[in-house]
Homo-oligomer: A and B are copies of this chain.
Amino acid sequence: MPMAAPDSDNALRPLVRNEPLRWVGSGDSLLETACLDALFPSGKLLRPTLCVESAKAVGGSHEHALAFAAGIECLHTASLVHDDIVDQDPVRRGRTSTAEQFGIAEALVAGDGLVMAGIAAMLSSGPADRALEASRVVVDAMRHMCRATLRETEIRGNLSCGLPTVLDVIRGKTAALTGAACQAGAILGGAPPAQVTALRQYGERLGMAFQIRDDLLPYTAGDQVTGKTAVSDIANRQPTLPVLLAYESADEPDRQRLTAVFRGTIDPLTAHHDVLDVVTRTGALNKAAQQAHSYAERARAELHGLAQAERLTELAESAAARQR
């Protein structure tokens, strides 16, 4: 039964939020219970929204992309569940992480179950050739994400890993999937190749802006706002963009302070305070914020010529400006 396309997020959000239920099940096994706990209450739904809005921007209907978008959200949530095992993070979206609540083994399998539910949803979407092409794009992005996740563990504590490496990790961990979500939406909406490429670029740049901003939040917002512990990156000795920018422009005493923090011998709260001090004083926070805005700007530029791109324009703007 065809439905009128919703005009606003208010109409779209419940659809995007409820769709994963169809693919995960209603919770009558431990697997489903753990998967649902990870999915709900849902987060920002950025990736599925990007997918649906991209389909609409090329003249498709939201229905062309809704199941697929739900699949992407399942894959994204799976990556968060597994990330919290890798990083030993007890908190996610302001709540106990799946690993903390159900146990590591259970969270691992729940993540696997979410991956399979997500792929099943994606493979169910529309004509075979489009579903296949869009699925390939997303699966490829997920492979990039895996590579970046391990690269991230390799550079722990390493302040000399270099900006290109950190930008590569951001690309793999976030921008690959936001780019794929937009590209898949465009494919499902029946876009010509030029629009598919433009939306892919848009999504990647938006993802870069989003993640750079995300790495700034521990220095600009409290735990209660971001829903995760502000000291998590530092506790994991993870060099992020603001820290690398600070390290590259710092004088010797500040470099030594950062080095001490990333050796992992200072207690996390003091460490966070020390890093906050250096990233602020060196202007690294401002530089990183500028980079986020620049990516967002270049994302918006790709939307030129698309019919219904207001929402995508807004999303690019808010990606670089968000406070949570």
- Please give the residue numbers on chain A whose beta carbons come within 8 Å of chain B beta carbons, in ascending order: 29-32, 34, 79, 82, 85-86, 104-106, 108-113, 115-117, 119-120, 123-124, 128-129, 131-132, 135-136, 139-140, 142-143, 146-147, 149-151, 153-154
Extra A-B contacts (11), CB below 8 Å, given A82-B109, A120-B139: A29-B151, A30-B151, A34-B150, A82-B108, A82-B112, A113-B143, A119-B139, A123-B132, A128-B128, A128-B129, A128-B132
Identify which of A32, A112, A117 gathers the most chain B CB atoms within 10 Å of its CB: A112
6 contacts between A and B (CB under 8 A): A106-B150, A108-B108, A113-B147, A123-B132, A123-B139, A128-B132
State how many angstroms separate the Cβ of A106 from the closest Cβ of chain B: 6
What chain B residues lie within 8 Å of A136 (beta carbons)?
120, 123-124
A135 touches B123 (CB 8 A): yes
Closest to A154 in B: B30
Q: Which residues of B contact A153 (CB under 8 A)?
A: 30, 105-106
* Chain B residue nearest in CB terms to A23: B143
Q: Is A29 touching B129 in the complex (CB atoms < 8 A)?
A: no
In contact, A31 and B106 (Cβ under 8 angstroms):
no
**Least CB separation from A152: chain B residue:** B109
Assembly CA distance A86 to B123 (angstroms): 28
Chain B residues with CB below 8 A from A105, complex form: 85-86, 153
Selected from B112, B124, B128, B131, the residue in CB contact (under 8 A) with A115 is B112
Decide: A116 near B146, CB < 8 A? Known: A128-B132, A132-B128. Answer: yes
Of the candidates B109, B115, B116, B147, the one whose C-beta lies within 8 Å of that of A31 is: B147
Residue from A106, A139, A150, A151 with most neighbouring chain B CB atoms (10 Å): A150
In the bound complex, residues from chain B placing their C-beta under 8 Å from that of A112 are 79, 82, 111, 115, 142, 146, 149
State how many angstroms separate the Cβ of A300 from the closest Cβ of chain B.
30
**List of B residues within 8 angstroms of A111 by Cβ:** 112
Q: Are A120 and B108 in contact (CB under 8 A)?
A: no
Q: Which 8 A-B pairs have the closest CB atoms?
A: A113-B146, A86-B105, A128-B128, A116-B143, A30-B150, A128-B129, A116-B142, A31-B147
On chain B, the residues within 8 Å of A151 by CB distance are 29-30
**List of B residues within 8 angstroms of A30 by Cβ:** 150-151, 153-154
A148 nearest in chain B by CB position: B31
Query: Complex formed: what's the CA distance from A105 to B147 in Å?
Result: 13
- B residues in contact with A135, CB < 8 Å: 119, 123
Q: Is B129 touching A108 in the complex (CB atoms < 8 A)?
A: no
Contacts of A154 in B (CB 8 A): 30
